[in-house]
Structure formats: structure tokens, C-alpha cells
Amino acid sequence: MTGDGPLDPGVAAGDVDAADAEDGEGPPEIDEGRYLYCVVSVDEGSPVEAFEATGVSDEPVSVVTNGGIAAVVHSCEEVYDSADLGRVRRWLVRHQSVVDDAGEAFGTPIPFQFDTILRGDDEAVEEWLAAEGDRLRELLASLAGHWEYRVEVVERDPPSADRLEETDEELADLRERIDGSGEGTGFLVEKQYEKRVETLREHRRAELTADLADRLAEHTREVHELDRSPAADLAGGSGREREGETICRLTLLVAEEREEAVGAALDPVADREGIEVRFTGPWPPYTFVPELGGGEE
């Protein structure tokens, strides 16, 4: 697994019946609860009792089973809320680490959003698994053997406006008008020029993105385009701080045996001069899990 994972501040995986703040006034009070990391499939050969992991805030993790599925949890009495971003990032990394460990032990999991808490004890978790069992088993069967990958295409030296002028008559004409205009008129034409430059760059990005998505579609189950500039990552950085211009960011749902084929499909893009392709994964399928529940318990 390489690079920044999909679980970053502001990114939600599948949601579930969580302890929500009452009337929007601060964190809710929880007498007893279970912090939920993920749900997995289990059978007679699954290492349920042997599974060990250290959870958020160093809490010991356990596995609660019911009807061939299991929730990976830890006991808690409060939500995880802090103004210390460094502390929040450590919590996020630990959350993802537990989900990763569960995926290695049990197969593709249904991962949950950070700070998803079910009110009650292990018995409440069992009851929830029983109530949602059919849907969870169907989703687990659908995701089995599939993982999420991320692709980011970066152009280290994007074409300048002068280079774009060489291939676009409208832009070249606007340049001539700027050079031959007075200050007032020239200002208005410069705005048109800047707008045309951005339009050309947007079209170029769209063409490259569409071409890449077509290349990947043959080897993936799903391809989705993401925001080109993520707000933050687990390391605390911003996509805008990276060198060059991000052409596109894609998330892929891929069968594990197709990983090499996806990598090979990216090679022609990576071979283009000035283009860098960042391919990360496998990750639990955060992006491809629908919201679950949303009740008050």
C-alpha cells in the first residue's frame, strides 16, 4: 500500500446508526457504546478469536459476530472530538490501520466513517447485525475480492498561455487585440484572454481524463472522478501544495487479480513527457460503500 489513503478529514465511508449530537449542541453523551470500524464476513475458518488490533486512542479492538458476519469494534463512552489536528490525524491513521488489518484477516470489509459509534454494548451490536444482516451480507458478497485504488495524474510543467496561443487561433487573436488596445479596452480583452486560457486548460484536462477513464474501464468494475484538489490528506498536506497541476483524480473499484492490468493500462499515460501518474492502493472500498441506517440509537 502506498501514498495517501482515501480516509482523510472530511471523507466519509459508509455511515451507520451513530450517536449524533442532540439539538446540534456539542458532542452527545454516551453511557456505553461501541466504536465501529468495519463489518466483515466470517465463517468457521475465520480467525475471530485470534484477531488482535490496537484501535483509536490505543483502545483494544474486539470482534462481535452474528449470522456469518461480524463487526470490528472497541468499547467507548464518548465521541472522539479534538481541536488538535495532529491528534485527529493520529486517530484517523489508527482507524484506517484497524480496517486494513481486518481486511487482511477476513477479506474485503465494509468500512465505516471515523467516529461512528453505536449506543449500547456487544448485545446491541449483535442486534444491529441481525437487523441489517441481509443487506450487509449482500454488500459484502458484492465487494468480495475487490479493493479501492486511487489514480492521480499530475502535469509537472503545464502548457503556458504562450504555448496555447500556438495552437488556438482565438487566443492568438485576443493577444493581438491586447497589444493593439489602449489601457481601458486592453483590460477587458485581457479578461477575455484569461477566460479563454482557462477554458482551453479545462478542455485539455477533460480530454485526458476521459481518455484515461476509457483505458481503465476495461479492467475495473467502477471508475469515479474525484475533486482535483483534495482539502487535506492524512499527512496534513494539501493537494494544492504539490508540484505541477493535477489533471485528474480517479477512484477505482478493482478485483484483486486485475491490479497488474490496471497498472499496465496506466503505463502509456505515465510515459507521456511531463506527466506523472500516482497509483495507490489497495484500500478498503471506502468510496463504494453506500450509507447505512441513520437512526437515533
3-state secondary structure 74-119: EEECCCCCCCCHHHHHHHHHHHHHHHHHHHHHHCCCEEECCCCEEE
Residue 80, number of CB atoms within 10 A of its CB: 17
265-274 pLDDT per residue, tens: 999 988 888 8
- In eight-state DSSP terms, residue 263 is H
Q: Over 90: is that where the pLDDT of 284 sits? A: yes
pLDDT at 239: 43
Q: Is 283 helix (H, G, I), strand (E, B) or coil?
A: strand
Residue 6 predicted with pLDDT over 70: no
pLDDT beyond 70 at 148: yes
